[in-house]
Homo-oligomer: A and B are copies of this chain.
């Protein structure tokens, strides 16, 4: 961050009537409340199964590209080089589809000792199919996180509260191409490849933030040693990208953003104790006491949800992993979405499925952005 200028991040949560609906965005732009040229990142929750064949994510990305290219005066595809578009599929249960839009501008520095939100973005190279879910993806992600930190002006990982990554998956086409070349995919199961890609990306975040040491991690760690994780990582896999897109969120003194971010770790899908404590300790807010205050000041929660891999929660059996009709990520989003919507009275929440190495096994990263008083 420039010494003389102060980073100002603004955050907008905008409901949509479908993955392609940007009318809400357009309205804010028309009213001069949102400057499209300042948009640096969009994190969307789109309705869909959140699995391999969820094209709602791609539809949202394409709609944003078409919308923004007119302002940026570039091709639709080139929008992706400038804005981090992360769409997470699946709004099961009470969750409501929406976009969280982040703008960034630099304004003259106003002296203040309080910390405020900053944001940085970066991209990795495009991955070869055989790199997905391996150390190659781990290390490239770690590098990209460092770049995004630099972009945000963040040097200290203690100031970082959320690292959001969008990562690719394996399709049958990619797997066949790779087999023809004599290469090996980490898995030939396309749905499972989403878990591998998320896992490798999360371990990359863990290394970059110092949550794990690089020499402790190799290919055998991935999707296996769940004691290695980052409590700041939130990873979404999707068919619509070939590289990793990284967004880093933190707080810095000198930021002019009217927002503040913090995070905690949910130790399982129903761990509300940790969430209540984060709101109380970090924000001075008492959840359950006053929905109206929360409703006013809470911008969004970003949380990862998963079915605990051992098939148990609080010692009892769950059935998310033995359901051959509905994938476990859909189950997990629905449950955790219910939990957090009940606590906050809000349903436009970013609840994302598949929390491998993103928080402890069965739990997940949980970050929240609030308006500063």
Where the two chains meet, the residues of A that have a C-beta atom closer than 8 Å to any C-beta of B are 15, 17-20, 47-56, 58-59, 62-63, 66, 76, 91-98, 171-173, 175-176, 188-192, 239, 269-272, 276, 288, 309-314, 316-327, 330-332, 334-339, 341-343, 345-348
A173-B317, A175-B311, A276-B288 known, 17 other contacts, Cβ within 8 Å: A47-B53, A48-B53, A49-B325, A54-B324, A62-B63, A66-B66, A91-B318, A91-B319, A92-B319, A93-B318, A98-B316, A269-B338, A270-B341, A270-B342, A270-B347, A272-B343, A334-B334
Residues of B with C-beta under 8 A to A335: 92-94, 334-335, 337-338, 341
* CB nearest to A65 among chain B residues: B66
In the complex, A322→B317 CA distance in Å?
A: 28
Provide the bound-state CA to CA distance between A305 and B50, in Å: 23
Bound together, the chains give a CA A276 to CA B345 distance in angstroms of 14
CB of B327 within 8 A of CB of A324, answer yes
Report B-chain residues with C-beta under 8 Å of the C-beta of A269. Answer: 93-94, 338, 341
The answer to whether B345 touches A314 (Cβ under 8 A) is: yes
Contact status A311-B173, CB under 8 Å? yes
Minimum CB–CB distance for A343 against chain B, Å: 8
Q: Are A322 and B66 in contact (CB-based, < 8 A)? A: no
User: Cβ of A319: which chain B residues have Cβ within 8 Å of it?
Assistant: 47, 53, 91-92, 95-97
How far, in Å, is A40 (CB) from chain B's closest CB?
Answer: 24
A322–B175 CA distance with the chains assembled, in angstroms:
12
The contact of A326 among B271, B321, B326, B336, by CB within 8 Å, is B326
- A288: B residues at CB distance < 8 A: 272, 276, 288
Residue of B nearest to A54 (CB): B324
Q: Decide if B173 touches A94 in the complex (CB within 8 Å).
A: no
A95-B318, A269-B338, A334-B331 known; A62 vs B311 contact (CB < 8 Å): no
CA distance A51 to B325 in the complex (A): 8
CB distance from A34 to the nearest CB of B (A): 19
Asked whether, in the complex, the Cβ of A317 is within 8 Å of the Cβ of B15, the reply is yes
Q: Which residues of B contact A342 (CB under 8 A)?
A: 270-272, 338-339, 342-343
In the complex the two chains form, is B322's CB within 8 Å of A172's CB? yes
B321 touches A190 (CB 8 A): yes
- With a cutoff of 8 Å between Cβ atoms, the chain B residues found around residue A309 in the complex are 188
Q: Are B59 and A55 in contact (CB under 8 A)?
A: yes
In the complex, the chain B residue whose C-beta lies closest to that of A271 is B342
